[in-house]
Structure 1
């Protein structure tokens, strides 16, 4: 079967495929392959059928493969005991093709991707070993840095390879890049609260719950709904702080790099709108609240036309944040 990296990208994430496929050639190919490598890492960390010890061992193997110390076929062999059930599992089984494509990129791009993907993979392994213990907000940020903040660094270094202007602004952009990653991941945590709880993880800091005299395990008990909504408000406030930095990141990119801006604007604005419909919404504790397709289409259309303007972006961000949501679509988590 012929390897098609973009088809695999679309299968693993339609949202990020939308952004990545808009990018200019070498940046598009680099970030597509980087994303697929990280989907492999995420599958090894996040699947619901492996015990933690096996996850850690496979993440270590994947890290060695990325370092060139083991063949990619070793991962395929290690996963041969179970049929792939989703696109992420399929990506893991196509690791040899993904890495073969990566090694056709310019050496500088390969290095940017491998350094950050290895660091993220090692961080995931550390957190799997540690387990779902998140006492303070700083612990939550540490986890999110490993799985998302480092991605911000990777994307920015690839942008800098492409653009001398971005390269000249790395001192400003790199701290904001981490915040951008934390912003998207905090919104992901909010969206996935129920699903993560059902697989044994609660990414909410214990300190947030303690502030309202609530145990983390009672977040999803209807008897404690009032306190749970207060905790949700703390999470949405946190996400909003990170999103403001993500907005600053986009605004630091010049208008003539419109494709690069759009690749960042779309996940940013999707996150802003998702946060708006999640704030103080009890449905978040019952399942997953999503934007409507019409909202997604409008964001893509409007930002494609006007996203080169920082003034327009500030106003649109505010409108998405402040406009009362339409009735939320609730996707109930599986029992």
Structure 2
């Protein structure tokens, strides 16, 4: 797929599947924009398998393990269709069209995305296999690494490869974990009600979970200091600002921030 003709349909699906990341992705310059858009769609495609409340864990483990292996070689659409066969009728568009998101990724950066997607699918399969039975802080760190910290690592690899911007790996993982911790807090009851799953370690209350989010968002704030390219800084700043505001809202007893607050935050990032 020629970089100059990144498919408009991919951007449509991106916009429909992510309110948080669509706007900051548009801040990035071409090669990075197209790579991160593809990576988000690929990650979202496998995340839909992990999150689906109608697929049993054994099947999730099987499908995600096979997809993980598929990412280790040049993508085979026919093989992917075979792997997805047992679940395809319940899958959304973003998952069914995974091959198109891979094809749309710039060739120069595709291997970064494939490697990260393989590792993520492996981690998701591992945790599906044990019904996300998170008992300790170490378990939570492991899970949040696979589903979010890994995204921070990929982004840092891309910043360096495409723009020469070097960052600290541990802080990059903290950036991803911080955003994920806020999501876990926000969706705690819903995950329990709809999927029967808790991502909260044994004997932890929301207080410890708030502390975990604060600790990782502090790493994310530190991570931001190493970003000296404006487009990358803007990309990272919006999701982080929204996470900080959502966390504060939940500490104040609210469920989440309002649409107006989201729009105000977007405006603040643009103006800054």
Structure 2 unaligned residues grouped into runs of 5+: 1-6
Match status 1:303 vs 2:254: no
SS at match of 1:4: helix
**Over residues 131-190 of structure 1, what are the superposed CA-to-partner deviations in whole Å (9 max), with x where a residue is unaligned?**
2311111111110001001110001111111222x1xx34xx211000001100100000
**C-alpha contact 2:34 2:104 (8 A) present in aligned 1:** no
**Distance in 1 of aligned mates of 2:8 and 2:30:** 18
Tell me, yes or no, if the aligned pair for 2:63 and 2:84 is still in contact at 8 Å.
no
**Do 2:234 and 2:269's aligned partners in 1 also have CA atoms closer than 8 Å?**
yes
Q: Residue by residue, what CA displacement relative to the aligned partner does 1:68-101 show, whole Å, maximum 9, x if unpaired?
A: 276223333444566766xx72111112212222
Aligned residue in 2 for 1:115:
115
Gap regions ≥5 residues in structure 1: 209-230, 284-288, 307-335
Q: Which residue of 2 aligns with 1:144?
A: 144
Per the TM alignment, residue 194 of structure 1 is displaced from its structure 2 partner at its CA by 0.9
Cα distance change on mapping 1:78 and 1:3 into 2, 3 Å = farther
Bigger relative contact order, structure 1 or 2 (CA pairs below 8 A, ≥6 apart) = 2
* 1:207 Cα deviation from its structure 2 partner: 3.0
When the two structures are superposed, what TM-score results if normalisation uses the length of structure 2?
Answer: 0.91
With over 3 angstroms needed to count, the CA separation of the structure-2 counterparts of 1:57 and 1:83, relative to structure 1, is closer
Say which of 182, 189, 193 aligns to 1:194: 189
Correspondent of 2:104 among 101, 106, 109: 101
Larger Rg: 1
1:293-331 residue CA offsets vs partner (Å, 9 max, x unmatched): 22112212222222xxxxxxxxxxxxxxxxxxxxxxxxx
Using the alignment, how far apart are the partners of 1:37 and 1:246 within structure 2? 23
Superposition CA RMSD, Å: 1.9
Cα distance, 1:175–1:161 mapped onto 2, change above 3 Å: same
TM-score normalised according to structure 1 size: 0.74
